[in-house]
Chain A
């Protein structure tokens, strides 16, 4: 599947003629869509998908935190919370039964969404069991049975599903017509997938298949899980008299202050299935147990806005939380096991049904994985063992948040160190792992969220050797075919990018990767024509009129997703560690934008510059509690840590020593500066690097020529991949295990089925000289070229959605939505290769053979209008290509490109 189709060129042509029918005229516009080199992108996409796996990110994620409490957007608080319902039945003062539904929608990098519905039910026990020196001690215990259903859905799939289901079911799925209405009147950030199909949502508890037949009815790519989870915690609220008095002194007594210190133990046991293709299903078993402590000081309050508007409504939650801090330390034990079942085979069917109910004996027996099994695994049983992995690790997680309702920032930093014992089809292997994961997210009410994720990871292939007296030691098994290297990844997602953000992102990626990326366009910060126009409009304005004075702002561009991946071989890190001290100081000073010369003189000695810098770092540490980045260059602190890591690495003889050394090197609050330092020290050495961009410009009708030019420049970066001259190493065994697991996470599934690719789209308008007897003013048609069609099908289904463009800035305004079957009209161009087979299709948009509900096109031909046309293609009605968009206007009966 190519997620990298994009616009290559826009061609406008206008052929006006006035010979036939008096003043009849024709006009057309055309857009080409580029297909990037798939092989190149596959490597990039594969790495990218693997590192975005949130399940691998942190075992601490399921803890209570104010991310869950906070309002993600106004939409979330007003509309989406309808799908997050919880029923609390009180059994006694301390015991209650909690049952609830929850829906989460995750965007994917290829346009569709993953909708995850969850149902859970279970008891909750909460009791105050006394006081310790006046501080309340509380016990909390809970357990839940849960079932989840994760579906990939695009607008095209939603529409196709609606047509298949019939009128009444479709009506219910659309909330008796309220959902299309909301889509029309709410801002574009409103996602109908959040509310679509409440029937399936309510059926969630009954959706887990119990037989082969039911499993084969699942849509391909669908993931369903069930399991039990539970935990117990003992916590003491540390808010004493002095904390209360400090709160009062600071004038913050309106807000609630809690400082719970807790010890917790929790666990989750989960069985998941994933329908891979027509006959194959993956079934996984996972078990996670955590034991740890947590300290979570929070100062804030959940206010309710518009509470008195409707009597029964609790109002919109408006959290004001200047400080929300959560430090956790946990020991984690995790088991993952995965089998592939070919459900057309009898043995596999039997083993599959047993495994569905938690009995994996038969599946293990058929694949020779049973402990102490003497019989040979059965060939052609249809069951394929993928892997079995046991991981133990220690994690430290720090989460900081700040929320002022309309603007929030969240930062999460997790560090995990542990070992994994994995058995795959080639046998057993052992790895030691150290990983740092940082997630930085800023959100505001107007433009949504921008996030940056860092992941720095080292896995060391080892084997365990037993020594005398039950002792054991790890032996390094890395070699040329299984090299030891550290990986570093950065992923940035920003749904609302202006030129200032673009420059910042580009600068960040340049610093992080060390690649110059000279081909990336330099876009002017301000649109010159807009700046001049505003000056002309405002020069004679009353200078006292502050309301109407508009500042010139950085040009808005669209949506940007970018990733960078770096590979540092272990030998190279050793070589860096051996470099003289000056090199580390110089590189660090450069990374922090300081003058490297005074730092280069420091060497091993620690002068006043060193101590002054260190003092500054300690003085500013309280700001971290408030999640405020001071921008202070913490050169001395970073050098001290890296130096200790380097020294430990040089002394390391055992794999565990190597792991401890990397733990020191990687555990930073300045990931960009760390990578910049390492990159600078490794200059000229072979560091494989890959950086990729996905840029979608968002056109507006009011865009000036300079803004259009800026957006065109921005879009020229779409699908661009920058690489260092050194090849990316192949996936290691432990990485391919993670890639398989990534399929079970939202957005991680990769569909290998063929899907038609839209190569070009032409829109044609023939305007009649005089209206027909039916009053038609003209006819509009689309013609499109499609590649990558399968041999079986000769027809395609086209999903076409037309929206109002621009005039109403705040709304999405869907005017029509259709799915139509079309056949090639112009014959098949003989294919040069199988993949190059190209078909051309033509379809009238309006008129008697046109789409339904498009009378607005006739109006537009007569009176003008501007629109966005979204198109997605499918051969079977199940697999839909990524949506492509063409923006156009009709002015004076002539088509124009926007």
Chain B
């Protein structure tokens, strides 16, 4: 007879939360590796914030909100369905308009699992595998685009793993852009090699390569990510070249450090977009009872092309929770 156990995750914010407040569902037992129990996960995060936007001589105070949701159901590590969506309405530093965003970012079927299977496959709305793209303020800052990373619509990913140390992922997807010559939507072919090494509490080296289907646009990237208990440090480099402008290339360096100090979690991010801009962000988060979180962050951006700089200071109140369920004694 099947019995059911459900677990509501109430753990602290830092350490087990993923990008922008989404908390990670956790299993309560070790049965996942022994047999394939049915599982389900639902994680959500919402935040209202007040922000001060400072540009040259002008300061403005504006409110905003953002939210994201992630859900999955699975039959152990064999088969699972995943959906992630995000929405936001925030003041734009460049205009008086509110920038709105609402998108199903991911929706895919997964066969096998990267942490347990030598072969795994994902299909649906996903990004082709490329780079690390550790951007914790993806939703919070409207000016932050994905720049050189691949932003896909629909695609697939096939992964091979060797003894927990090496993974190779191959993928393809259509890009969300039209070919300037043919007018057809571009596709991308990509590969990513991930090597796990025994440094501190686990480190990864990542090399990626991607080319558009007409081979005019190419990207390459290297990244390193180091875990030290609940702290993470990553450094990533991405370069994009286009055969139509052979003498010009675009390049990004990004450094992100996240650290937990008692109840507090802080992070520091630096990014240099070659001949375009550089950005500096510092953020603090603290959990409170009833799944509430307070957040405070400061961002500075300096643009080279049209020389100007602006500041954003944000203070927010968030609510995040994750709910996990696993089948017991099938």
Contacts and interface: CB of A to CB of B under 8 A. Distances in A.
Given A546-B132, A553-B203, 8 more contacts: A447-B200, A535-B27, A540-B39, A541-B24, A543-B113, A549-B114, A807-B261, A807-B262
A742 B246 CA distance: 61
10 contacts: A446-B200, A535-B33, A537-B27, A539-B113, A540-B39, A541-B25, A543-B113, A544-B108, A548-B18, A552-B164
Interface string B76-87: 010010101000
B194 interface: yes
A532 interface: yes
B126 A446 contact: no
Contacts of A501: 198
Most chain B beta carbons < 10 A, residue from A535, A536, A541: A541
A547 B201 contact: no
Given A537-B26, A551-B196, A542 B114 contact: no
B77 A551 contact: no
A326 interface: no
Contact of B16 (A537, A554, A807): A537
Interface in A694-727: 700, 702
Interface string B54-80: 000000000000000010101001001
A808 interface: yes
A540 B80 CA distance: 10
A571 B98 CA distance: 90
Interface of A: 444, 446-447, 498, 500-501, 532, 535-554, 556, 700, 702, 807-810
Contact of B229 (A536, A541, A809): A809
Contacts of B196: 551, 553
B106 A544 contact: yes
A37 B120 CA distance: 57
Contacts of B82: 542-544
B18 A545 contact: yes
Interface in B302-330: 324
Interface in B212-232: 225-229, 231-232
A322 to B, nearest CB: 16
B162 to A, nearest CB: 13
Contact of A540 (B19, B134, B232, B324): B324
Contacts of B248: none
B115 A535 contact: yes
A702 B229 contact: yes
Contacts of B25: 540-541
A560 to B, nearest CB: 15
Nearest to A525: B198
Contacts of B100: none
A550 B201 contact: yes
A546 B114 CA distance: 10
Given A540-B324, A541-B24, A809-B231, A547 B84 contact: no
B24 A532 contact: no
B89 interface: no
Contacts of B26: 536-537, 540
A500 B134 contact: no
Interface residues of B, number: 58
Interface of B: 16, 18-19, 24-30, 32-33, 39, 41, 70, 72, 74, 77, 80, 82, 84, 106, 108, 110, 113-116, 120, 122, 126-127, 132-134, 164, 194, 196-204, 206, 225-229, 231-232, 234, 261-262, 324
A809 to B, nearest CB: 6
B326 to A, nearest CB: 8
Nearest to A446: B199
Contact of B72 (A535, A540, A551): A540
Given A542-B72, A809-B228, A498 B198 contact: yes
A547 B110 contact: no
A700 B70 CA distance: 34
A776 B318 CA distance: 40
A498 B113 CA distance: 27
A536 B11 CA distance: 14
B30 A535 contact: yes
Q: Which 3 pairs between the two chains have the least Cβ-Cβ distance?
A: A551-B196, A540-B25, A536-B27
Contacts of A548: 18, 24, 232
Most chain A beta carbons < 10 A, residue from B77, B113, B202: B202
Contacts of B133: 547
A626 to B, nearest CB: 19
Contacts of B232: 547-548
Contacts of A545: 18-19
Contacts of B115: 535, 538-539, 549
Contact of B114 (A536, A543, A547): A543
Contacts of B33: 535
Contacts of A532: 30
A130 to B, nearest CB: 41
Contacts of B200: 446-447, 553, 556
Contacts of A810: 228
Nearest to A555: B198
Contact of B84 (A446, A539, A542): A542
Contacts of A702: 229
A641 B160 CA distance: 44
Given A547-B232, A551-B196, A535 B32 contact: yes
Contacts of B39: 539-540
A819 B172 CA distance: 66
B324 A446 contact: no
A546 B18 CA distance: 10
B122 A544 contact: yes
B223 to A, nearest CB: 9
Contacts of B18: 541-542, 545, 547-548
A642 B41 CA distance: 65
A550 B227 contact: yes
Contact of B198 (A540, A544, A553, A807): A553
A500 B198 contact: yes
Contact of B261 (A447, A538, A808): A808
Contact of A547 (B32, B134, B198): B134
A554 B28 CA distance: 24
Contact of A446 (B24, B122, B226): B226
Nearest to B40: A540
Contacts of B72: 540, 542
Contacts of A536: 26-30, 32
Nearest to B164: A551
Most chain B beta carbons < 10 A, residue from A444, A549, A554: A549
Contacts of B108: 544
Nearest to A500: B198
B229 to A, nearest CB: 5
Contacts of A535: 27, 30, 32-33, 115-116
Given A540-B24, A552-B164, A547 B262 contact: no
Contacts of A809: 228-229, 231
A369 B133 CA distance: 75
A532 B30 CA distance: 7
A550 B226 contact: no
A214 to B, nearest CB: 49
B19 A547 contact: yes
A249 B292 CA distance: 60
A810 B266 CA distance: 14
Given A446-B226, A539-B32, A544 B126 contact: yes
Contacts of A446: 199-200, 203, 226
